[in-house]
Amino acid sequence: MKKNIRMARRLRAVSISVLAHVAIFGLLLLARLGEGPAVRPSPLILAELVPLAPEVPAPKGIEPLAPETLPQPVTPVVPESPVEPTPKPLEPEVDRPAEEPPKPADLAPQPEPVLNAEREQQATSDTTVADANAPDAAPTEPPADEPPTETRADEVLRKRLASWTGQFTAEDSEPTVTWREADQRYTAVLRRVPATDVMGMERLMVAVTTERDGESFATELTMTRLAFSNFGQFVDRWDPEVRIHDDVIDGRFHSNSEIGVLRERGVQPTFRGKVTIAAGDIDTGDVGFVSKKKLFPAGVEMNVRRVGLPKRGTAVGSHTLPAERVQRFDADADIVFGWDGSFVWTPHDSAITGERRELGEEPFYLIAAQDVTLHVSGVVNGKVLVYSPASIVIDDDLTYADDPRTPNAGDYLGLVAENTVEIAEPEVTGVGDLTIHASIYARHRFTVRDYLSRKSGLLAIVGSVTAGSLSATEPRYATSIAYDERLAKIRAPGFPLSDRYELDEWNGEWRPVE
C-alpha cells in the first residue's frame, strides 16, 4: 500500500512539473507575441534575454520544485574572446591592419581598406609586382619609353639651369654644358635667340639629353637674358662709406660686393624684393647683430655668382637706328620733355630758343657725343633712350604722361650714362620731393649732389636703378625705389643687357630619342 502511494505521489509530481513547464513557455510565447513581429536575437545577446522572463508562481497546494530540477536554457556557443559591453554589428572576420589616426595632410580620398597582407604589400609598393606563379618573380622594370625618373630629372635641371652666366662668340655659337649626377650624364646645348626688337628680351633655347640603361631621352626649355632693368636696384661696387638707412627698395636687389646697412633709433631700410649678394656678409657697422628675417622679408642669398657690367652701356645690338628717330648732341644740352609727346632742347645755360621735335610712336634716341652732358626734366610721352658717354643730370621731376602703375601705360624712359647719372643741386631742383620715372643705368656712379644739405624730402624713383656705385642721399633725401613691374617683360629702348640667363619656361616633359 505504501508502495502504491509513493508511485501515485511520483506521478503527481511529474504531472505538476509538466504543467509548470507548459505554463512557463506559454507565458513566454504570449510576451513575445505582444511585442510585435518576432526578432531573432543575436547569439551574443541571447543569454542576456532569458533571465529577463517573468517568474511564474507555482499552483496552490503544490510544492515548488527545486531550481536545479527545472530545464536550463541552452546557451549558444560563442567565441572565447570576451564580449564587449556594447555589442557591435557583425562584420566578415578578416585580418585587418591596425588603423592609424588620419594625418592632417591626408585630405585626398583614401583607398579601399586593405583586406590582407598581399593586398597591403601591393598597395604600399612603388613597383609593379610580377606574377606570383612565375619563376623567380621580381619587380618589373618600367617600360623603355618612360622618361628617366622625372622627379629627380626635374630637380636636377631646375638646380643646374636655374641660371646660366656667359657670353656667345662667333666661334662657339652653341655652347655645350655637360655634367653628371647620380651616375647619370646630362648634356645641354645652348642656342641664342636674339630679341626681335630693341625693347624685347633675348632668349636662350636649351636642348637637354640624358641616358639611362642605354635609352636616350630629351627635353627643351627656355631661358631669358636679364636686362639690368629687371633689378629694382643693382650695384656693382658698394661704397664702404655709404649705408642704407631710411630707404625702401622694391623689386629685386643685387650687389656684387658687401653692402652696408644702418639701423638707428628703430629706423632701418626695407627690402621688399628678393636680395642676392655676391659677398658672404653684410656690413652693419657698430650696430652689431641685425635680423636678416626682418631686413630681408622676401629672402636673401649670399655668395651668389657675380653679374658683371658690360664694357659699353647701350644694347642696340644689330638693330639699325633710323636717322629720323635719332637726335644727336655735340655739346652740353638741356632737354625738357612735354606731355604732348614732344621734347625741346637748347644748349646748356643758353638763352637761345630751343628746338622742338616730336617723339612719335616708335622708340626715339637722344645720343650725346663724347664728353657731352645732357640735362633732362619734364613729362615723357613715348619710348625714349637718353645716352651719354659722359653724364646725365636730372634737373627736376621727370615723369611719364601715364602713371607706370596703371593698366595700359605705354611710356618708357632709359637714362644710360657710361660715367654718372646725377641729381642736380637743391638750387636747381628746388626743395621738397623729387619724382623720377625711368630705368637708370650709371656705369660709374649714381650721385645726389649736395646730399649733406638740409633735408628736402623724398627721392621717389619708379623704375629701376643700376650703378657701378652709389653716393649717399641723406640727409637731403630719403629714398624710395618702387619697381616698375612692366620691366620684367620689356625694357626701355636699347637698355643694357646682363650676361645672366634665367629659367623661364619648361613643361617638364621628356621624350624618347630614337
- Asked if 411 contacts 400 with a C-beta cutoff of 8 angstroms, the reply is yes
Whether residues 233 and 222 share a domain: the answer is no
Place of cell 534575454: 49
Whether 218 maps to a domain, the answer reads: yes
Both 401 and 448 in a single domain?
yes
More confident residue, 156 or 308: 308
What does the mean pLDDT of the chain come to? 76
Cβ 396 vs Cβ 334: under 8 Å: no
Containing structural domain, residue 206: 150-226+501-513
What is the spatial distance between Cα 248 and Cα 241, in angstroms, rounded to a whole number?
A: 19
Same domain, 221 and 236: no
Q: What is the DSSP string of 162-230?
A: SEEE----SS-SS-EEEEEETTEEEEEEEEEE--SSTTS--EEEEEEEEEETTEEEEEEEEEEEEEGGG
Q: How many CB atoms are closer than 10 A to CB 479?
A: 22
- Tell me if 27 is assigned to some domain: yes
Q: Which three cell numbers stand for residue 57?
A: 508562481
| 482 neighbors 462 (Cβ within 8 angstroms) | yes
State in Å, rounded, how far the first CA of the chain is from the last one: 119
The C-alpha atoms of residue 361 and residue 220 are separated, in whole angstroms, by 36
Containing 17, the helix (H) or strand (E) segment is: helix 2-34
**Rounded CA separation 362/46 (Å):** 96
**pLDDT score, position 7:** 53
Q: Is residue 38 part of a domain?
A: no
Q: How many angstroms separate the CA atoms of 477 and 453, rounded? A: 9
Name the residue with higher pLDDT: 120 or 150.
150
Q: Does one domain contain both 447 and 476? A: yes
Query: Which residues are paired to 385 by β-bridges?
Result: 365, 414
Mean pLDDT of 246-275: 86
Band of residue 10 on the pLDDT scale cut at 50, 70, 90: low
| CB neighbours of residue 269 within 10 Å | 20
Let me know whether 379 and 457 are in one domain. Answer: yes
> Does 250 lie in the same domain as 312?
yes
Gap between the Cα atoms of 313 and 368, Å rounded:
13
Q: Is 2 helix (H, G, I), strand (E, B) or coil?
A: helix
Q: Say whether pLDDT at 158 is over 60.
A: yes
Cβ atoms within 10 Å of 188's Cβ, excluding its own: 20
Residue 236 maps to a domain: yes
CA 96 – CA 93 distance, rounded (Å): 9
Using the Cα atoms of residue 317, residue 323, residue 324 and residue 327 in order, give the sign of their dihedral.
positive
Q: How high is the pLDDT of residue 258?
A: 93
**Total number of domains constituting the chain:** 3
191 and 158 both lie in a single domain:
yes
**Looking at the whole model, is its pTM more than 0.85?**
no
pLDDT value of position 153 = 67
Quickly state the pLDDT bin for 1 (edges 50, 70, 90): very low
Cα separation, 497 vs 501, whole angstroms: 10
Task: Report CA Rg, the chain.
Answer: 45
| pLDDT of 461 over the 90 cut | yes
Q: What is the pLDDT of residues 61-89, one digit of tens each?
A: 434 444 444 444 444 444 444 444 444 44
Residue 167 domain-assigned (yes or no): yes
